[in-house]
Amino acid sequence: MSLGLRLSSTVLSIALLTLAAFATPVSALELKETPGLSERVGKDLPPVAERVPAEPLVVDLEASGREIGTSGGEINTLIGRSKDVRLINVWGYARLVGYNESLDLVPDLLKDLVSEDDRRFTLHLREGHKWSDGTPFTSEDIRFWYEDIALNEKLQPAGLPAFMLADDKPPVFEVIDETTVRFSWDAPNPLFAPEMAKSRPPFIYRPAHYLKQFHAKYGDMDEIAQLAAERKLRNWASLFNKMDDMYNARNPDLPSLQPWLRVKDDGERRFVLERNPYYHRVDTVGNQLPYIDRVIMTVADGKIIPAKTQAGEVDLQARNIGFSDITILKQGERSGKFKTYLWPISKGSEISILPNLTVADPVWRKVLRDTRFRRALSLGIDRDLINKVLYLGFGKPGNDTVLSKSPLFKEHYREAYASYDPDQANALLDEMGLTERRSDGTRLLPDGRPLEIIIEASGESQEQLDALELVGETWRDIGVRLFPKPSQRDIMRERALSGLLVMSVWSGFENGIPTSEMPPEDFVPVRGDFLSWARWGDYYETDGRTGEKPDWAPAVRLTELYDEWLISTSKAERVRIWHEILEIHAQETIHIGLISEVRQPVVVKNLGNVPEEGIYGWDPGAHFGIHRMDEFFMK
């Protein structure tokens, strides 16, 4: 079936799913040599026609409303930590298949991906595609990952990741030819293709020609032992994992398929990422992408990044700036040095209050699991006030749910029990029997303790603390006291798993723009890192070895629905499952969302093809990735 169309019992290709990108033989293109690489041609580089695949991915910019760009120049941006250099592999967003701006899965590194009822996936690589060092990218690179890394107990002691299992069984893997491989499962595996498109994908391919020298099966063990000792690593597996660094960009010697590559010995405060001369995308007039020659990522104190941005020190910036910085950014914009675009953030809610439904305290557990209590807390929040005070009215008050850009969106999901109605909130709390109060009006819990809620926060967001202050003011009117408690994210997760956490504040669902083809894992209790149901998620992740079996009917049903999605074979089935999941969230107020579609400032200086109206998110989105940063160019 097509990954874009999901037609049951049909075999279709997705190579032409989008008109904005297509494969064209090199012979039919008038390829142009990149000016920044021309001096190297004939020395350490072959001509461009020998560097790109036989059928490169041709990007029709005009069809997507963009311009044919010019090659050259550099993008300067600031990062708050040296390890954020890894974001270049997020923003570059070269994936086997990836999301386009319509949230369809389309081929990218692959020429084609053919799916048969999500049971058999045939991957067609591009003939002549090369790694950044000029070595061919072939089926051997996928075979090496699967057989010699993923199935190697020394390298992967936990076994195959979940997306490689269907009904807990691994696939049958076949190498068909030099550019074709196949993964086959008896049961459907709808997780497989979406996993390839993630911001941090699993990279089910590796540069075998480079990494084999560090692998016990292929390398010289004396040399491997010496290299491991020099790096103070325990064994060959530790050395291999150190050198096998597809995501973090810490090994500049590792060949890549991404648009920009880290330059060797570039320091720890200023990172230089130069264009990949073997990149697989070109425009319709024969220019090889990316247009930009290099990206410069400079480390700066996160607190001063907004000021440096305002001063015009960057060409592209969204990291470490937020809505609270808009005033100074707009002031700086008057100088004419840059523009500030406001992209809606794709999270289900910018701020979400999370009752811990697996809290250990029996009194709190009974209270928090009472639907009337969660609805009352939601009805007791003046979201319009929060929107005006924190976001100048730019956000959308409402629940933590899917956004209007999602094809699954319904107004009801956002609005259910989300209007400010203290009278109804008080009535619900009275109906629960929480009628006893202290002299100051604070209600009492069934065991006589005051209804005082400690809401733990990571301490990473002042906006969250400011929002809690506003929530606390209106909760007083319904007899509930709120006490924010700054903490740290790791401590909060430990307390959630142990059942000590009562309530927390966090951002909302990471993916607020899902389609039915995306797994609903954020919305169901299957992950132990979700603070609203950590113990249930831990139980699911560990097959019952740790955590707690769900014993609350909505949680049981959500888990059943997720398992149904995993074996579904049609779009209609997945749409039905998604809507039932979202309806449960709307009725149960599992998360108490505050404001969604808050705007992320994106500062742009002299760059073309950066959309004024974009989306900003992690998955799906990859920050700039979904908007194809390789198409940005200097104007």
Contacts of 252 (CB under 8 A, 6+ apart): 261, 262, 263, 264, 265, 266
Q: Are residues 299 and 365 in the same domain?
A: no
Q: Are residues 384 and 486 in the same domain?
A: yes
In a domain, 466, yes or no: yes
Q: Dump pLDDT digits (tens) for 65-84.
A: 999 999 999 999 999 999 99
Measured over the CA atoms of residue 78, residue 80, residue 81 and residue 86, the dihedral's sign is: negative
Confidence of residue 264 (pLDDT cuts 50, 70, 90): confident
Q: Decide if pLDDT at 48 tops 50.
A: yes
Q: Are residues 561 and 611 in the same domain?
A: no
Instruction: Answer left, alpha or beta for residue 260, where phi above 0 means left and psi between -120 and 50 means alpha.
Output: beta
- Quick one: pLDDT at residue 29? 80
Q: Dump pLDDT digits (tens) for 377-393.
A: 999 999 999 999 999 99
Q: Encoding tokens for residue 522?
A: 């954020």
Average pLDDT on 33-61 reads: 96
Identify residue 584 by its one-letter amino acid code: I
Q: Are residues 330 and 428 in the same domain?
A: no
Q: Decide if pLDDT at 1 tops 60.
A: no
In the chain, how long is the greatest CA-to-CA distance? 86
- Quick one: pLDDT at residue 266? 77
Q: Are residues 436 and 561 in the same domain?
A: yes
Q: Dump pLDDT digits (tens) for 180-208.
A: 999 999 999 999 999 999 999 999 999 99
Q: Decide if pLDDT at 403 tops 60.
A: yes
In a domain, 394, yes or no: yes
**Residue among 58, 74, 13, 43 nearest 633 (CA):** 74
Q: Encoding tokens for residue 377?
A: 């807390």
Q: Are residues 474 and 575 in the same domain?
A: yes
How many other C-beta atoms are found inside a 10 Å radius of the C-beta of residue 145?
Answer: 21
- Quick one: pLDDT at residue 21? 59
Confidence of residue 216 (pLDDT cuts 50, 70, 90): very high
Which tops the pLDDT comparison, 19 or 443?
A: 443
State yes or no: cis peptide before 620, omega within 30 of 0: yes
Determine which of 25-29, 31-35, 400-404, 579-583 has the lowest per-residue pLDDT on average: 25-29
Q: Are residues 430 and 526 in the same domain?
A: yes
Q: Which residues is 634 bridged to in the sheet?
A: 607
Q: Decide if pLDDT at 15 tops 90.
A: no
Q: What is the CATH number of the domain that holds 445?
A: 3.10.105.10
Q: Are residues 279 and 333 in the same domain?
A: yes
Q: Decide if pLDDT at 152 tops 60.
A: yes
Q: Dump pLDDT digits (tens) for 550-605.
A: 999 999 999 999 999 999 989 999 999 999 999 999 999 999 999 999 999 999 99
Q: What is the CATH number of the domain that holds 332?
A: 3.40.190.10
Contacts of 242 (CB under 8 A, 6+ apart): 231, 233, 251
**Residue among 384, 380, 400 nearest 481 (CA):** 380
Confidence of residue 363 (pLDDT cuts 50, 70, 90): very high
Average pLDDT on 415-419 reads: 98
- Quick one: pLDDT at residue 27? 64
Summary mean pLDDT of the chain: 94
In a domain, 70, yes or no: no
Q: Dump pLDDT digits (tens) for 514-549.
A: 999 999 999 999 999 999 999 999 999 999 999 999
Decide: residue 489, CB within 10 A, 0-12 exposed, 13-18 middle, 19+ buried: middle
Q: Dump pLDDT digits (tens) for 440-452.
A: 999 999 999 999 9
Q: Decide if pLDDT at 138 tops 80.
A: yes
Do 552 and 371 touch, CB atoms closer than 8 A?
Answer: no
Q: Are residues 584 and 614 in the same domain?
A: no
Confidence of residue 268 (pLDDT cuts 50, 70, 90): confident
pTM of the model: 0.92
Confidence of residue 26 (pLDDT cuts 50, 70, 90): low
- Quick one: pLDDT at residue 3? 41
Q: Are residues 627 and 515 in the same domain?
A: no
Strands 503-506 and 452-457, by their bridges, are parallel
Average pLDDT on 152-158 reads: 96
**Residue among 258, 261, 289, 217 nearest 61 (CA):** 289
- Quick one: pLDDT at residue 14? 44
Q: Decide if pLDDT at 321 tops 60.
A: yes
Q: Decide if pLDDT at 24 tops 80.
A: no
In a domain, 6, yes or no: no
* % of the chain with per-residue pLDDT over 90: 92
How many other C-beta atoms are found inside a 10 Å radius of the C-beta of residue 37?
Answer: 19
In a domain, 416, yes or no: yes
In a domain, 392, yes or no: yes
Q: Are residues 415 and 335 in the same domain?
A: no
Q: Are residues 560 and 452 in the same domain?
A: yes
In a domain, 414, yes or no: yes
Q: Decide if pLDDT at 496 tops 60.
A: yes
In a domain, 31, yes or no: no
Q: How many domains does the chain have?
A: 2
Question: 338 is in which domain, residue-wise?
Answer: 270-345+600-634
